[in-house]
Structure 1
Amino acid sequence: MKTQDLLAIGLMTFALFLGAGNLIFPPSMGLEAGTNLLPAMMGFLITAVGLPAFTLIVLGRIANTNNLTKSLPPWLGQTFWVLLFTSIGPAFGMPRAVTVAYEMGIKPFVDGDYLLVFTLIFCAVTLLLAFTPGKLVDYIGKFMTPALILMLIALSVAALISPLGAPQLPSADYQNSAVTHGLIQGYMTMDGIAAVGFGWVIIQAINAKGVTAPKDVARVSLYVAGIYAVLMGACYLAMGYVGATSSTVANGATNGGEILTLYVHGIFGEYGQVLLAAIIIMACLTTTVGLTNASAEYYRSSFKAPFALTSVIVVTLTCIVANFGLAQIIQVSLPAILLLCPIAIALVMASFVSSINSAFKPSHVSVLVVTLVFGALDALSILDLMPSVAHSQLQDMLPLYNAHASWLIPCLVVLSVNSLRSFINQQKTCTA
């Protein structure tokens, strides 16, 4: 693969992940962490960047994203993929991107409600770009992402040269356990599940450049994950610094979007709002295009559904949900996402173990079941649906329950025991 093509796929990968949430969340954390920004960001980067990068590397090692669920019963594997693409696609991820693009990119400049008009235009552009999957790397990797990076650099350099304030003392959560809290917040970005979905687009882009041999796909995926990690890490650090130095202008702000808006206005004045609007709309557009492409690629590969037809259905549903009932859809789909994220990560870990040595058979089914059970407890806790008595008992009994990751240790135990047992049985068979 040519270096410029490799770089283009890496830039495309960065843009696919870079949604409005990735820009809005770090300023809020930076404001709370204050003088403890660096240790908090260290923990945050491990889970918010390291986990998706690890997922991309594993997907490259197994060469075909569908291999992630190959060891599951066909009905169970298909159920997982359909739920995943429905959740991160038209049921949650894509409508949220459209509405955030409108709220932060258009609404500040207009009087009245133009959400329907904006949604129709935004979804039409998404569909136009998604209709030609072979050009996705050119559209996003070679043109849209460099423009997006230049805008982010302008904001970051301005914040470094003339910060609007100094970091304040950290809030209670970040005083004594900044790294741990950063780890938790990074995990809650849910980019781990996005990496599984985007894997379809990235592997397809690598194959489209003539790289199809498993070892070559694995090698290129490693480089792509590295490019993504460097760019996304730099973006998070810059946005976190913006939040940490925003105390003088963001007093009373309730979320990262407000902090970012106030900060940009404080540096660039009225032109800052235009710059921020362009960044947000561009980031949301690359995300919706990528999710449309990923969904259509899955249904084409698994069910022989026409790529164009699936794209139209996904984007049409997104347009409808973005205008009618997004809040209700989020309430319904959020529990599914909170369950699917640990399951996706568990399947990635199981696939990684089995890719190391064919003698390791970690039993994807048992790993999935154990993760589902304990992940359900974490989901109930996050949604504040866990009874108070049970919540107190689980805090004392389950490791990592307070970190919303009580599924991790049971999953690792089952993964290790099954892999070791299969390896021993394999050795006995070979020596018999």
Structure 2
Amino acid sequence: MKTHDLLAIGLMTFALFLGAGNLIFPPSLGLEAGTNLFPAMVGFLITAVGLPALTLVVLGRLSSTQNLTNPLPKWLARAFWILLFTAIGPAFGMPRAITVAYEIGIRPFVNSDHLLLFSIIFSAVTLLLAFKPGHLVDYIGKVMTPLLILMLVALACAAIFSPLGVPQAPSFDYQQDAITHGLIQGYMTMDAIAAVGFGWVIIQAINAKGITEPRAVANTAFKVAIIYAVLMTGCYVAMGYVGATSAPVAANATNGGEILAKYVAGQFGIYGQWLLATIIVMACLTTTVGLTNACAEYYKQTFKTRFPVTAIIVVTLTGIIANLGLEQILAVSLPAILVLCPVAIALVLTSVVLPSLTLSNTSFTHVVVLFTALLFGGIDALNILEKTPDNIHSLFLQALPLYNAHASWLLPCLLILGGSYLKAIKKPLPVDMIN
């Protein structure tokens, strides 16, 4: 693959992940971590960048995203993908992108509610860009992403060379366990589950450049993951530093969006507000275009549906649901996202530890790991949503490792994988494999 094509796919991958949430989390972390920004950011990057990058590498090694669930029974694999694309697509991820783009990018400049009109325009532009999936790399990787990066660089340079303040003393959470708290915040970006969905778009983009041989796909996906990781790390570090130096203007801010808004207003005045609005709207647009392509590509490959028809249905549902409001979207769909995320990560880890093409007992292990992640992921979801009864919550705090880090699913899944791996390497290879 030519260098400029590889770079374009890497830039597209970065843009697909760079939604409004990715811009909002780091400033909030930076403000709270203060002088402990460095250890907090290290923890944050491990889970917010490391997990998605690992997922992209694994999917590249599998050559096809669908191979991630091939060892599962057909009905279970399809149920997983349908739930995943419904959750990150029209049920949650895409409507949230529209509402966040409106709340941060448009609402500060208007006096009345124009969400319906904005969602119609936003959805139409999404469809326009998504209708030609073969040109996705050109639209996003070669045009939109460079512009987005330039705007982020302008914001980062202002924070570095003309900061509004200096990092303050860390909040209580970041005084002793800054790395651990950063790990939790990075995990909560849920980009690992997005990586599973975006894998359909990225591998399709690699194939479109003539790369179809499995080893070549794996090597290209690895390079794409490196480009994504470098760019996303730079973005997170810059936004974290913005938050850490924003105390004079955003000391009482309640979320990262408010921190960013106050920072750019203090740094650039009205021009800063327009800059932030443009960044947010473009970041959300690249995300909705990528998710539309991922959803439509899955249904096209699995159910032989026509790409344009599926894309229209997905975007139409997105526009309708977006007008229900962000709070309602979160209340209904967030539990599903919180449960699906550990399931997706567990399947990725299973593919790393137990390659499905060489181990005969992999299918059984995949099923056991999936339901284990589903069970403990449900427990973690109830904890995050603060729905666990107090007495049971106290019991889990004492009995479940990593429960307080919202990752009680991890150790049981790793134990199952470790046992299956040891059993597999002790089992003699079949005669046909030896020959």
State the TM-score, normalized to the length of structure 1. 0.98
Among 400, 403, 407, the alignment partner of 1:401 is 403
State the distance in 2 between where 1:386 and 1:143 align: 47
Aligned to 2:415: 413
Q: Map Cα deviations across residues 277-308 of structure 1 (whole Å, 9 max, x no partner).
A: 11000000000000000000000001101100
Aligned to 2:368: 366
State the distance in 2 between where 1:111 and 1:155 align: 27
Residues 1:43 and 2:43 aligned together: yes
Residue identity matched to 1:278: T
> Aligned to 1:170, what secondary structure does the other structure show?
coil
State the distance in 1 between where 2:404 and 2:290 align: 33
Aligned to 1:267: 267
State the distance in 2 between where 1:326 and 1:45 align: 27
Q: Is the CA contact 2:71–2:356 (under 8 Å) kept in the aligned structure 1?
A: no
How much has 1:385 moved relative to structure 2? Answer: 1.1
Aligned to 2:377: 375
How much has 1:251 moved relative to structure 2? Answer: 2.1
How much has 1:109 moved relative to structure 2? Answer: 1.1
Residue identity matched to 2:388: M
Q: Is the CA contact 2:99–2:325 (under 8 Å) kept in the aligned structure 1?
A: no
Residue identity matched to 2:380: D
State the distance in 2 between where 1:163 and 1:361 align: 57
How much has 1:154 moved relative to structure 2? Answer: 0.5
How much has 1:104 moved relative to structure 2? Answer: 1.0
What does 1:318-329 align with in structure 2 at a 5 Å threshold? 318-324=318-324, 326-329=326-329
State the distance in 1 between where 2:356 and 2:45 align: 25
What does 1:249-398 align with in structure 2 at a 5 Å threshold? 249-324=249-324, 326-355=326-355, 358-359=358-359, 361-362=361-362, 363-398=365-400
Distance 1:223 1:129, change over 3 A: same
Q: Is the CA contact 2:12–2:137 (under 8 Å) kept in the aligned structure 1?
A: yes
Q: Is the CA contact 1:62–1:355 (under 8 Å) kept in the aligned structure 2?
A: no
Distance 1:357 1:72, change over 3 A: closer
Aligned to 2:10: 10
How much has 1:327 moved relative to structure 2? Answer: 2.9
Residue identity matched to 1:132: K
How much has 1:419 moved relative to structure 2? Answer: 2.1
> Aligned to 2:395, what secondary structure does the other structure show?
helix
Residues 1:227 and 2:231 aligned together: no
Q: Map Cα deviations across residues 90-142 of structure 1 (whole Å, 9 max, x no partner).
A: 11000010011111111111121111111111100000000000000000000
> Aligned to 2:249, what secondary structure does the other structure show?
coil
What does 1:42-81 align with in structure 2 at a 5 Å threshold? 42-81=42-81
How much has 1:422 moved relative to structure 2? Answer: 2.3
State the distance in 2 between where 1:256 and 1:325 align: 19
Number of residue pairs the alignment of both structures matches: 432
Q: Map Cα deviations across residues 45-81 of structure 1 (whole Å, 9 max, x no partner).
A: 0000000000000000000000010010101000000
State the distance in 2 between where 1:326 and 1:309 align: 26
How much has 1:361 moved relative to structure 2? Answer: 4.3
Aligned to 1:28: 28
Aligned to 1:148: 148
Query: Unpaired segments of 5 or more residues in structure 2?
Result: none
How much has 1:331 moved relative to structure 2? Answer: 1.5
Query: Unpaired segments of 5 or more residues in structure 1?
Result: none
Residue identity matched to 1:399: P
Distance 1:427 1:321, change over 3 A: same
Q: Map Cα deviations across residues 21-65 of structure 1 (whole Å, 9 max, x no partner).
A: 000110011000000000000000000000000000000000000
Aligned to 1:244: 244
Q: Map Cα deviations across residues 297-330 of structure 1 (whole Å, 9 max, x no partner).
A: 0000011011000000000000000112543332
Residue identity matched to 1:225: A
Q: Is the CA contact 1:360–1:420 (under 8 Å) kept in the aligned structure 2?
A: no
Q: Map Cα deviations across residues 142-195 of structure 1 (whole Å, 9 max, x no partner).
A: 000000000000000011010000100000100011001101111111100000
User: For structure 1, which segment, 362-371 or 165-174, has the greater mean C-alpha deviation from structure 2 after superposition?
Assistant: 362-371
State the distance in 2 between where 1:181 and 1:251 align: 20
Q: Is the CA contact 2:322–2:329 (under 8 Å) kept in the aligned structure 1?
A: no
User: For structure 1, which segment, 128-137 or 372-381, has the greater mean C-alpha deviation from structure 2 after superposition?
Assistant: 372-381
State the distance in 1 between where 2:120 and 2:428 align: 57
State the TM-score, normalized to the length of structure 2. 0.97
User: For structure 1, which segment, 30-39 or 366-375, has the greater mean C-alpha deviation from structure 2 after superposition?
Assistant: 366-375
State the distance in 2 between where 1:277 and 1:328 align: 23
State the distance in 2 between where 1:268 and 1:327 align: 31
> Aligned to 2:247, what secondary structure does the other structure show?
coil
Distance 1:242 1:119, change over 3 A: same
User: For structure 1, which segment, 103-112 or 257-266, has the greater mean C-alpha deviation from structure 2 after superposition?
Assistant: 103-112
